[in-house]
Amino acid sequence: MTNIPILSLLIFFPFLGSLIILFINKNDKSYKNKVKEIGLWTSIINFFLSLALLYSFDKTESQFQFIESFKLINDLNIYYYLGIDGISLSFILLTTLLIPICIITSWNKINEHIGYFIVSFLIIECFLIGLFSSLDLFIFFIFFEGSLIPLFLIIGIWGGENRIYASYKFFFYTIFGSLLMLLGILTLYFYSGTSNLTLLMKTNIPFTLQIWLFLSFFASFAIKIPMWPFHTWLPDAHVEAPTAGSVILAGILLKLGGYGFLRFSLPLFPEASDFFTPLIFILSLVSIIYISILALSQNNIKKLIAYSSVAHMGFVTLGIFSRNLEGLQGSVYQMISHGLISAALFLSAGFLIDKMQTKKIDDFGGLWKQMPKFSIFFMIFCLGAISFPGTTGFIGEFLILLGVFKINFLISFIAAFGIILSACYILWLYNRVCFGNNNYNNITDLSTKDSLVFLIFLLLIVILGIYPNMLMSIYELSTNKLIIN
């Protein structure tokens, strides 16, 4: 097993699939079906590959595993250097799980440019897996920024009415942050002479330099996660993106920020992280409270879920910068759990919007009678979003609050209000969507295919909520290592 470059295989298998799609004859009658099937099978095979990765992953080993390394650019000492630990593995699993689901759920909805659509998703999959498994800053950056191209096209081509504005906003926010990060990477590279993460962790960087570098990385990650003053691209992008695009955005793209903080900011700039912790705590608290209040006043279902994502990500940054075991483990758990729950919520919202052709919450109502299956699924996803015990959301937020409590009582006290607020807006959303008067007559419930997809999410949310060790054992040692360093 060790001789197979399984990470490269995971990264480039979707790329191979998309190359095959480019060579299919477009005049063929069954062109659309062929494209979809190739896309689906590629992503499903990739999912099983990632399960094989999980199977051969050594949970008792805290070092990076499945190392692959060869020199990419000779004169700059840039290596194609891959390797994963538990944290990256969890995110890789999340990615490979969500991509086939995205393709399944848009099976009948996307008719225009179907080839581009599937290719975009496959390319985004290969960039995301690459980014989670890269241990060289340059390679990381290439994958990180490369994921912009397909997502820009996904929002712009298949989005809603205001899609051009949304895609531009998304693009420029992200590119601004990531180019600042590129300058940071270059400075770091010239300071230490290497872009290799494992070597960089051993170098001591002077404090003032750390501050600047931290800020340049922070610009990128805070926009991506997104944190309070930098969050305005997110609601637009979510509202305009097609359902599958929202799923990818909320499910994985938002986690890049948190992943970046864990992988780069904390280990590379520990003193600067200490220095900026109060600032980040304040920004996170504002994210949690202020954005939750904003979410209360939304009448657009996708916008509400988008704002709730920002609030939940506020918990993640709190947990990461509390820098103790509970906080870190909680924030990784919260990210995975939010990846599942928000993906499920966006799928539900997309399902409703397709049925009713409206995004306004006021237009829904009384769906309980006509869509009993959907209502049950939606209920459980909503409970997950308010971190109800028994769902994954609870584990994550509970651990984070525990971790923050150890540092500062007041912060965890205020943050706990976020949970109450999330209960307010989510339950109110559920109330307005499923109960009350019925405005529609001929609505069909979930089809078998949709139910199956929803069931996958439901099982994952509940099982991981009841037995968290299943997921936590994967990344336990990796988060412990962060503390020790």
- Specify the DSSP element, H or E, that contains 8: helix 6-22
- Specify the DSSP element, H or E, that contains 229: none
Shortest distance (Å) from residue 115 CB to other proteins: 7
Nearer to other proteins, 20 or 186 (CB): 186
Whether residue 244 contacts residue 121, with contact meaning beta carbons closer than 8 Å, is answered with: yes
Shortest distance (Å) from residue 61 CB to other proteins: 30
Nearer to other proteins, 156 or 350 (CB): 156
How far is Cα 50 from Cα 40, in angstroms, rounded to an integer? 15
Contacting other proteins within 445-474 (CB under 8 A): none
User: How many of the chain's residues bind other proteins (CB under 8 A)?
Assistant: 39
Whether residue 139 contacts residue 80, with contact meaning beta carbons closer than 8 Å, is answered with: yes
Determine which residue in the list 9, 44, 54, 186 makes contact with other proteins, applying CB under 8 A.
186
- Specify the DSSP element, H or E, that contains 146: helix 137-146
- Specify the DSSP element, H or E, that contains 232: none
Contacting other proteins within 70-89 (CB under 8 A): 71-76
Contacting other proteins within 21-80 (CB under 8 A): 26, 71-76
Taking CB under 8 A as the binding criterion, the range among 111-119, 201-209, 404-412, 438-446 that sits at the site for other proteins is 111-119
Which tokens go with 221?
């990650």
Q: Is 240 in the site for other proteins (CB under 8 A)?
A: no
Shortest distance (Å) from residue 162 CB to other proteins: 11
Q: Is 236 in the site for other proteins (CB under 8 A)?
A: no
Whether residue 78 contacts residue 140, with contact meaning beta carbons closer than 8 Å, is answered with: no
Which tokens go with 222?
């805070």
Taking CB under 8 A as the binding criterion, the range among 49-57, 155-163, 389-397, 432-440 that sits at the site for other proteins is 155-163
How far is Cα 457 from Cα 113, in angstroms, rounded to an integer? 28
Whether residue 385 contacts residue 308, with contact meaning beta carbons closer than 8 Å, is answered with: yes
Shortest distance (Å) from residue 46 CB to other proteins: 19
Determine which residue in the list 65, 133, 134, 167 makes contact with other proteins, applying CB under 8 A.
167
Determine which residue in the list 125, 136, 145, 476 makes contact with other proteins, applying CB under 8 A.
145
Shortest distance (Å) from residue 146 CB to other proteins: 5
Q: Is 193 in the site for other proteins (CB under 8 A)?
A: no
Determine which residue in the list 44, 149, 325, 379 makes contact with other proteins, applying CB under 8 A.
149
Pairing assessment for the beta strands 78-84 and 65-73 based on DSSP bridges: antiparallel
Taking CB under 8 A as the binding criterion, the range among 81-89, 180-188, 248-256, 461-469 that sits at the site for other proteins is 180-188
Shortest distance (Å) from residue 148 CB to other proteins: 6
Which tokens go with 156?
């712009």
Which tokens go with 218?
């922070």
Q: Please provide the DSSP assignment of 326-395 as one string.
A: HHHHHHHHHHHHHHHHHHHHHHHHHHHHHHHS--BGGG---HHHH-HHHHHHHHHHHHHHTT-TTSHHHH
Q: Is 228 in the site for other proteins (CB under 8 A)?
A: no
Q: Taking Cα atoms as reference points, which of 406, 407, 380, 408 lies closest to residue 394?
A: 380
Nearer to other proteins, 164 or 452 (CB): 164
How far is Cα 152 from Cα 235, in angstroms, rounded to an integer? 15
How far is Cα 212 from Cα 187, in angstroms, rounded to an integer? 10
Determine which residue in the list 81, 116, 261, 398 makes contact with other proteins, applying CB under 8 A.
116
Shortest distance (Å) from residue 83 CB to other proteins: 19
Question: Between helices 31-56 and 86-105, what is the axis angle to 10°?
Answer: 160
Residues listed for the chain: 485
Determine which residue in the list 94, 153, 318, 446 makes contact with other proteins, applying CB under 8 A.
153
Q: Taking Cα atoms as reference points, which of 215, 227, 306, 320 lies closest to residue 266?
A: 320
Q: Is 16 in the site for other proteins (CB under 8 A)?
A: no
Beta bridge partner(s), residue 134: 82
Determine which residue in the list 8, 62, 77, 187 makes contact with other proteins, applying CB under 8 A.
187
DSSP 8-state secondary structure symbol assigned to residue 230: G
Determine which residue in the list 97, 129, 163, 263 makes contact with other proteins, applying CB under 8 A.
163
Phi and psi of 77, rounded to 5°?
65, 30
Nearer to other proteins, 87 or 114 (CB): 114
How far is Cα 393 from Cα 302, in angstroms, rounded to an integer? 19
Q: Is 215 in the site for other proteins (CB under 8 A)?
A: no
Nearer to other proteins, 193 or 229 (CB): 193
Taking CB under 8 A as the binding criterion, the range among 144-152, 198-206, 250-258, 454-462 that sits at the site for other proteins is 144-152
Q: Is 148 in the site for other proteins (CB under 8 A)?
A: yes
Nearer to other proteins, 73 or 420 (CB): 73
Determine which residue in the list 168, 290, 388, 435 makes contact with other proteins, applying CB under 8 A.
168
Binding region for other proteins (CB under 8 A): 26, 71-76, 112-113, 115-116, 138, 141-143, 145-146, 148-149, 152-153, 156-157, 163-164, 167-168, 171-172, 175-176, 179-180, 182-183, 186-187, 189-190
